[in-house]
Structure 1
Amino acid sequence: MPVAVGSYGQTQPNCFDRVKMGFMMGFAVGMAAGAMFGTFSCLRIGMRGRELMGGVGKTMMQSGGTFGTFMSIGMGIRC
């Protein structure tokens, strides 16, 4: 199947670029959700200071990685 060429000679991104883009978008959304849910849950159990920052950061990375993985899988299926 030929690659569609847009105006000014630009080509469509290939499948790997789309999967990377899906991971980055999912990671960003997951980090935002992790910040909200992680802050709430850590404050609820009584964390303060350095312990709070570590707990929220861990939750942000976990949710970002998880959501980014699922978004990249979804973008890979669409290729």
Structure 2
Amino acid sequence: MPVAMGPYGQFQPSCFDSVMMSFVMGCAVGMAAGALFGTFSCFRIEMWVQELIGGIGKAMMQSSSTFGIFMAIEMGIRC
């Protein structure tokens, strides 16, 4: 499938590349948000060190996957 040309002759990324790029961007934003909110919630319920690391990691993974999937779906609709 031919790739579209931009106004100055540069190549535009394909739809699949755009969806994957938005998924990765959503995962990065979700990781940051999960780290902030996970740390706050774990400190709020007074977890110990071992539980704290697991709780923050779980919040980061859940948040990054959610943000990534929603960003990928949004970019798929825009393509």
TM-score, normalising length: structure 1: 0.89
**How far 1:5 sits from its partner (Å)?**
4.6
- Structure 1: 4+ residue segments shifted above 4 A: none
**How far 1:15 sits from its partner (Å)?**
0.4
Structure 1 residue 64 and structure 2 residue 64: aligned?
yes
> How many residues are treated as equivalent by the alignment?
78
Identity %: 64
TM-score, normalising length: structure 2: 0.89
Higher mean C-alpha deviation, range 42-51 or range 55-64: 42-51
Equivalent-residue separation in structure 2 for 1:70 and 1:5 (angstroms): 27
Aligned to 1:22: 22
Superposed, 1:1-79 pairs within 5 Å as 3-5=4-6, 7=8, 10-79=10-79
**How far 1:69 sits from its partner (Å)?**
0.3
